[in-house]
Structure formats: C-alpha cells, structure tokens
Amino acid sequence: MNLPPFSVFPELQSEQVFLRETKQADVPNLLEILTYDGKVAESLKEGIRIMERIHQNYLDRDTVNWVIEDRVTHQPVGFVGYYRGFKDGIGELGCILKEEFRGKGFMFPSLLLAAEFGINYMKLNQVIAITSSENEKAIALLNRNSFVLTEKHADGILTFNYKN
C-alpha cells in the first residue's frame, strides 16, 4: 500500500471540482462543517485546532482529507477524505458539503475521485463508506458512485463497499 504522508500532497480534479490539501485559511469559510470526532467547531480558534489535528492525523498515516473547491469560483464548498486509518488495507471515505452547495453536483465527482485514488494510487484492498439508514441522500449518492450495500447493522448503520 502507498499510505500518507505523500512526498507531494495529492491534488485531484474533475471538470467541476478541485480536491486539495486543507489550509488554515479555509477555516472561516468551512467552520460550520468543520468537525472532529463528531464535534463541530464553535469558534475560529477551535476550527484551527481541528484543522491542525486533521493535518497531524495525515502525518501519522491515519487520514487523507481534501477540501472540495469549486473549479469555477475557487470557493471551498466541503470536505472529502479517508478517516479512521487504513487497517487491513481498508479505507473509510467520509464527506460533507456546506448546505448551500448540496444538490449542485459537487459531491458525486469528489467521492469518485477519492475512491479511485484509494484503489489505484494508495492500492487499498477496499474503500468503504458508512452512513445511517435514514440518510437517504447519502445512500443515493453512494449507489450512484458504484458503492454497494454490504452490511446492515442492528443500530441502523449501513456499510457500503466501492466497486470500481
């Protein structure tokens, strides 16, 4: 496997999105969706600390987290990335967009770029995504991106596996 940190942080792009490394300058624009361990940042100071922890996790070989940037406006609109390490060659993808950018076609290419990067460059054995059975939009997004439901947990959590 080819795990982080990489000699050069990977930048990925499609016609609509540019995936790039997170920067502290992104904190004010993305504060409302900046989370760590399920806790949303409540201040710029806390957001900067979270961004520093995300970067340290990358250096510790546990994550790869990209800012999703609109290629037309260059505005950061969300995050996509691998979380929770890479045990047994499995990478878990997670994603979030600012509310005003949801449903505008940013997440589909972002998720696909990140999944393909995991399989083709990182040489992961599996790319998975986990969501709630109540999150219909996430389930639809995963299905459109070639993720297949592989496990239903008793607590309503669903696990999907990427099939490229």
Taking only the tens place, the pLDDT of each residue in 108-129 is: 999 999 999 999 999 999 999 9
* Residue 82 to residue 130: CA distance in whole angstroms: 12
12-162 has CATH 3.40.630.30 classification: yes
Distance (Å, whole) CA 49 – CA 36:
10
Q: How do the domains of the chain map onto residue ranges? A: 12-162
pTM to 2 decimal places = 0.94
Mean pLDDT score across all residues of the chain: 96
Question: What pLDDT does residue 69 have?
Answer: 98
Residue 77 in contact with residue 106, Cβ under 8 Å?
yes
Q: What integer is the mean pLDDT of 37-57?
A: 93
Q: Is the pLDDT of residue 37 over 90?
A: no
pLDDT above 90 covers a percentage of the chain that reads 96
Which helix (H) or strand (E) segment holds residue 21: the answer is strand 17-21
With a cut of 90, say whether residue 148 has pLDDT above it: yes
Q: Are 147 and 160 in contact (CB under 8 A)?
A: yes
For the chain, the first-to-last Cα distance in angstroms comes to: 18
Q: Which whole number is the average pLDDT over 87-104?
A: 96
**Section 97-115 average pLDDT:** 97
pLDDT given at position 16: 97
DSSP H stretches of helix in the chain: 27-30, 44-59, 107-120, 136-144
* Residue 38, pLDDT score: 84
